[in-house]
Amino acid sequence: MIGKIGLEEHFAIPETLQDSAGFVPGEYWKELSKRLLDVQEYRLREMDANGMEMMILSLNAPAVQAIPSPQKANEIALRANDFLAEQVAKRPTRFQAFAALPLQDADMATRELERCVKDLGFKGALVNGFSQVNTPENCVYYDAPQFEGFWDSIEKLDVPFYLHPRNPIDSWSQIYNGHPWLMGPTWAFGQETAVHALRLMASGLFDKHPKLQIILGHMGEGLPYNMWRIDNRNAWVKLPKTYPAKKTFGEYFQNNFYITTSGNFRTQTLIDAMLEIGADRILFSTDWPFENVDHAANWFDAASISEADRLKIGRTNAAQLFKLDL
């Protein structure tokens, strides 16, 4: 398929590059670092060779979210966003941008979001999970009360929020002790992000802000295949609801969430996601440079789905969601 749009596509600046060093064996780091620091050359060749018209770019992980000092986090976010705006300006028909945000301070993050969307033309924000605030052990999730004004701003700006994974901090990772292979994209990324998304649903966030749209990568971080159980566990037992949300989790998932194919190139999984959330809420992505563009594109172009759904997932859903002038 020609004209695909991807929206979990990462870059790094020198200050955040080392955050990605542990995700590949040492002998692959030279290649990965080259991919992360490149925007206009190697990346573009991969796009051209595999029918990708556009990438919406975002900073690598955990980057800003792992800087406990709010002032330092804000400084790095501004630096990354200014760099990204310069890159997009060189080829706006091929690249667009997600803002990195210092959510260590909700007001600071709101100001940077508004600057990026209103002044720089960014298409939304991508945030790498929880933020560490003031100390490495103080992890803050975005269902907390101090983020009410931030979510209000997101809704008013009418831009999506991409909740991207990060690993849990070491002191919260006992379940993985002795099994480091379970960290990162194998399992810990998905578990951490799914729980964060469920917290947002349960908090009543989408009752207060029904137009909010959250994006999850990697075919929904496992949520599509567990949504029925989340709402219906032990259904014969009548118990009072213990969280503020007014609707079922499934309703929020189908109305306030999109998922992408990033790093999860499996047709059976895609079809199951289509049955759970609908083809209108799935978006093509590759997870470059941690995954290969050709692996994503070759799989997607040959996946046994209808051409109408392929066009939606590969292009038109993203064009509509991000109001792209294509």
Domain extent, residue 197, equals 4-321
User: Would you say residue 326 lies in a domain?
Assistant: no
Of 19, 105, 143, 287, the catalytic one is 287
87-102 pLDDT per residue, tens: 999 999 999 999 999 9
Residue pair 15/60 in contact (Cβ under 8 Å)? The answer is: no
DSSP annotation of 124: -
pLDDT at 188 over 90: yes
In a domain, 250, yes or no: yes
Question: Does residue 112 sit within a domain?
Answer: yes
CATH number, domain with residue 268: 3.20.20.140
- Whether the Cβ atoms of residue 83 and residue 13 lie closer than 8 Å to each other: yes
The DSSP secondary structure of 246-290, one letter per residue, reads SS-HHHHHHHHEEEE-TT---HHHHHHHHHHH-GGGEE----TTT
> What tens digit of pLDDT does each residue of 283-319 get?
999 999 999 999 999 999 999 999 999 999 999 999 9
Residue 9 lies in a domain: yes
Non-local (6+) Cβ contacts of 1 within 8 A are 51, 297, 300, 301, 310, 311, 314, 315
Q: Does residue 287 have an active-site annotation?
A: yes
- Backbone Cα Rg of the chain: 19
Residue-wise pLDDT tens digits, 113-144: 999 999 999 999 999 999 999 999 999 999 99
Domain contains 172: yes
Helix (H, G, I), strand (E, B) or coil at 121: coil
Q: What is the DSSP letter of 99?
A: B
Number of separate domains in the chain? 1
Question: What is the DSSP-derived secondary structure letter of residue 305?
Answer: S
pLDDT band at 22 (very low <50, low <70, confident <90, very high): confident
